[in-house]
């Protein structure tokens, strides 16, 4: 049956913890019944009697001593069975016994049984299909960060008009149940049910922090099982209300309900407290009392107290588990992260007053960049390649083909006579300097992400050591990189066809070297130009030794390739967010990033990069920078900023969507004291503070686009229920953005309070996290945003 069928694991704990055990039908005999159906049920639940004829035959063929021993054993077994039965009888308390007496003689229906599924493709008593997420037939598990809320859906149904329910069970990597939640039917016509879950609790601990070992133990492959079940109570209640109202077959309806409540009270799967059991037993006794009116009897089982028990501890008949869905639970910062990029050679760069020439920065002066990133609230610092830069065909300023005598070249033209990917550029410092940088970063609570561009300059040591790793032209020369009409004469691309295994081993060696120096994340340049299998092998080998290491893919390419890279281990990915600027584009793109795609491809939103400067950022000034920062920080759990954004560096190179005087080809000297007059750095700091303070910002699976009447005003909400926030209180953020960086706009914003799980019986008190102002909101709300006052509201529901 399609992609999903109900499957029962032979060694599943479900048969012992989530389904009624084989002993439970016997427990139902606390309902005293005179019907032949119930009597038969009792008989089949008792231990089988010893067959004396069989024993006699065996005794005739064995020595007398063995026959006597066998008889003694049989007698002991019978005595033990009788003793166990008596002990079980003694456990029935007085309240249950009183309910038994009241229910004696009532006629009940057999509950739906749990049908064992013995092979793939068999259905249980309830039908469970199409459990999502389940890409590629479940070969690649969905990926979530520890404690990240996520959504699971399924089709759950039964024949006829009988009501069903569904429960999702979360189990950790050791098979222990950690969470159990009722699912909601969101589309009755399609039998679609959904629920929001989480695997473990959110943590901000870094791999080097004390206590991280406890986080590490929680990582790995978790499972979610959807259990469909017959909702006997709801089915009964629907019919009983009608029959009492029209006085049709009332006694039978109410006596059936009394027996149902009594059975519910002793069902182990319901996990009831003693008080809950007594509540149900008393309700059953009242409902069975024919001296009361029909309305009084029905009210005993149709009231808020019983409804609350049905919500939290329902009677689940015919439990039918789905095949467990696998989830790869990853460490903190695999989904929820804030990146900050700077070039070490520009950090701390100065102009020599004597010569007027630029003196580039070093790894030692880059400490200032770490401190700025920390002050603005970021938690990952991303460094471009820090390896020696080639001389042959070195690029000049603005990607010119001829470099001047003082041009430093592109750090992506990797390798020279000084070394390759395993060497620190001497102009930046030494390996010890780099280790000191990562140590300081860790003291500040920052992770270091290092760019890994798998390409070489013509001067790279690999060119001589491994000439077969490069593609040669018919004339014997090595082909430089190109993407016609673009040409990269300073780079030789790797050819993986001749010796991919050898290249893999060398890359693994290099990555492990930098990990030992303190790197915990690699941002990989253009991974889509290399074989997917290559990355699959490399990432598997590296993470087997260092499971804490994360990988980000800088892959602006086709969706299939981006998805494949995520399957093989790229935890996060660059994406097309910079080019999604209109309301229509964003309303379409945000749900994609924050939907099923988010189980595999964790899009990281960057407003700009060294390679990207869009017309929107160029044309909308300070307001435009703040708008894009708000959208990036609140539109995705993972976002990043390329430094210089705070200084409004927004001049394009003519004819290209990238900066003029690009930092990739020259050293930048910046005056960071000017950042205060723009206020962009202040906005970045505020956004990171809001993100850290609100659990709703953590997930790729909780965003809802809101209706807004103005074409320049975008609105969306993030909501996480109280059970999943870790604080015991629901968390809702409402983001409203004026996309026009020049003019004010007014709009009506519609909130579907029911859908968002918000109160509908009173006004909502909301607080703007950017300004501290407070408002009252409801279903429809008026908003006015002027770029010179407020570019956005980020409202938290109080």
775 forms beta bridges with: 766
Residue 83 marked as a ligand binder: no
Residue from 611, 604, 614, 551 nearest 574 by CA: 604
Residue from 590, 592, 794 nearest 696 by CA: 794
Backbone dihedral region of 252: left (phi > 0), alpha (psi from -120 to 50 degrees) or beta? alpha
Which class for 623: exposed (0-12), middle (13-18), buried (19 or more C-beta within 10 A)? buried
Q: Is 134 a catalytic residue?
A: no
CA distance 45 to 26: 5
Which class for 524: exposed (0-12), middle (13-18), buried (19 or more C-beta within 10 A)? buried
Please tell me which residue in 347, 379, 554, 769 is annotated as part of the active site: 554
Instruction: Name, in order, each residue with C-beta under 8 angstroms of 320's C-beta and a sequence gap of 6 or more.
Output: 6, 114, 115, 117, 123, 124, 125, 126, 127, 128, 227, 228, 229
Residues 494, 496, 499, 503, CA torsion sign: positive
Please tell me which residue in 525, 649, 740, 790 is annotated as part of the active site: 525
Residue 781 marked as a ligand binder: no
Residues 422, 427, 431, 436, CA torsion sign: negative
Residue from 385, 330, 512, 363 nearest 439 by CA: 363
Residue 664 marked as a ligand binder: yes
Q: Is 649 a catalytic residue?
A: no
Instruction: Name, in order, each residue with C-beta under 8 angstroms of 392's C-beta and a sequence gap of 6 or more.
Output: 457, 458, 459, 490
Residue from 548, 573, 547 nearest 559 by CA: 573
Residues 729/758, Cβ–Cβ less than 8 Å:
no
CA distance 710 to 200: 41
SS (H, E, C) 112-160: CCCCCCCCCCCCCCCEEEEEECCHHHHCCCEEEECCCCEEEEEEEECCC
CA distance 320 to 116: 8
CA distance 699 to 338: 14
Q: How far is CA 116 from the centre of its chain?
A: 31
Binding residues: 395, 455, 490, 526, 664-665
Catalytic residues: 525, 554
Binding residues for alpha-maltose 1-phosphate: 395, 455, 490, 526, 664-665
């Amino acid at each position: 049956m399609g992609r999903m069928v109900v499957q029962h694991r032979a060694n599943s704990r479900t048969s012992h913890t989530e389904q009624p055990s084989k002993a439970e039908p016997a427990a139902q005999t606390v309902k005293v019944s005179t019907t032949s159906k119930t009597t038969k049920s009792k008989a089949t639940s008792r231990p089988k009697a010893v067959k004396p004829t069989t024993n006699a035959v065996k005794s005739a063929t064995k020595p007398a001593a063995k026959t006597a021993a066998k008889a003694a054993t049989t007698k002991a077994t019978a005595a033990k069975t009788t003793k166990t039965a008596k002990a079980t009888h003694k456990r029935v308390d007085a309240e249950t016994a009183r309910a038994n007496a009241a229910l004696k003689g009532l006629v009940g229906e057999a509950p739906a049984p749990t049908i064992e599924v013995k092979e793939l493709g068999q259905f249980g008593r309830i039908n469970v299909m199409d459990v999502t997420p389940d890409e590629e037939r479940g070969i690649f598990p969905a990926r979530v960060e520890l404690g990240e809320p996520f959504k699971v859906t399924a089709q759950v149904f039964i024949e006829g008009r009988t009501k069903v329910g569904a429960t999702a069970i979360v189990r950790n990597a050791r098979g222990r149940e950690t969470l159990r939640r009722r699912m909601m039917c969101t589309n009755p016509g399609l039998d679609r049910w959904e629920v929001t879950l989480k695997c473990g609790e959110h943590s901000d601990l870094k791999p080097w922090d004390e206590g991280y070992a406890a986080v590490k133990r929680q990582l790995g492959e978790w499972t979610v099982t959807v259990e469909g079940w017959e909702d006997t109570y709801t089915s009964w209640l629907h019919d009983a209300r009608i029959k009492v109202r029209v006085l049709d077959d009332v006694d039978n309806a109410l006596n059936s309900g009394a027996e149902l409540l009594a059975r519910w009270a002793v069902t182990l799967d319901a996990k009831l407290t003693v008080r809950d059991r007594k509540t149900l037993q008393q309700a059953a006794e009242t409902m069975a009392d024919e001296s009361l009116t029909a309305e009084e009897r029905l009210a005993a089982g149709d009231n808020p107290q019983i409804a609350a028990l049905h919500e939290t501890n329902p009677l689940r008949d015919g439990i039918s588990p789905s095949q467990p869905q696998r989830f790869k639970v990853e460490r903190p910062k695999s989904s929820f992260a804030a990146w900050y990029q700077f070039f070490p050679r520009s950090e701390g760069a100065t102009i020599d007053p004597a010569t007027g020439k630029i003196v580039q920065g070093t790894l030692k002066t880059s400490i200032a960049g770490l401190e700025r990133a920390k002050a603005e609230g970021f938690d990952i610092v991303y460094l471009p390649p820090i390896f020696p830069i080639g001389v042959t065909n070195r690029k000049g300023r603005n990607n010119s083909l001829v470099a001047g005598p003082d041009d430093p070249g592109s750090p992506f033209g990797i390798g020279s006579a000084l070394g390759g990917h395993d060497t620190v550029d001497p102009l930046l410092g030494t390996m010890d300097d780099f280790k000191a940088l990562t140590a300081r970063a860790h003291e500040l609570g920052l992770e270091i992400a290092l760019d890994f561009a798998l390409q070489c300059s013509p001067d790279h040591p690999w060119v001589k050591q491994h000439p077969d790793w490069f593609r040669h032209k018919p004339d014997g020369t090595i082909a430089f990189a190109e993407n016609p009409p673009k040409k990269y004469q300073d780079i030789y691309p790797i050819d993986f066809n001749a010796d991919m295994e050898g290249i893999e081993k060398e890359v693994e060696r290099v990555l492990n070297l930098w990990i030992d120096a303190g790197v915990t994340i690699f941002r990989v340049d253009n991974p889509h130009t290399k074989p997917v299998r290559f990355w699959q092998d490399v990432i598997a080998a590296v993470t087997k030794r260092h499971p804490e290491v994360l990988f980000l893919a800088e892959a602006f390419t086709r969706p299939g390739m981006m998805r494949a890279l995520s399957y093989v281990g790229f935890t996060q990915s660059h994406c097309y967010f910079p080019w999604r600027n209109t309301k229509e584009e964003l309303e379409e793109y945000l749900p994609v990033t924050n939907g099923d795609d988010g189980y595999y491809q964790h899009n990281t939103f960057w407003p700009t990069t060294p390679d990207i400067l869009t017309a929107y950022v160029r044309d909308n000034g300070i307001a435009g920078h703040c708008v894009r920062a708000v959208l990036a920080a609140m539109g995705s759990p993972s976002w990043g900023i390329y430094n210089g954004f705070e200084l409004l560096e927004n001049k394009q190179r003519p004819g290209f969507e990238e900066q003029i005087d690009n930092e990739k080809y020259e050293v930048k000297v910046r005056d960071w004291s000017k950042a205060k007059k723009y206020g962009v750095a202040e906005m970045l700091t505020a956004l990171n503070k809001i993100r850290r303070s609100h659990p709703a910002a953590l997930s790729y699976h909780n965003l809802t686009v809101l209706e807004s009447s103005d074409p320049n005003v975008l609105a969306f909400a993030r909501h996480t229920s109280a059970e999943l926030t870790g604080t015991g209180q629901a968390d809702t953020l409402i983001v409203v953005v004026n996309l026009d960086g020049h003019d004010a706009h007014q709009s009506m914003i519609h909130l579907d309070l029911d859908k968002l799980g918000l109160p509908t019986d009173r006004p909502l008190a909301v607080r703007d996290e950017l300004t501290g102002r407070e408002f009252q909101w409801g279903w429809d709300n008026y908003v006015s945003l002027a770029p010179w006052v407020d570019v956005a509201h980020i409202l938290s529901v109080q």
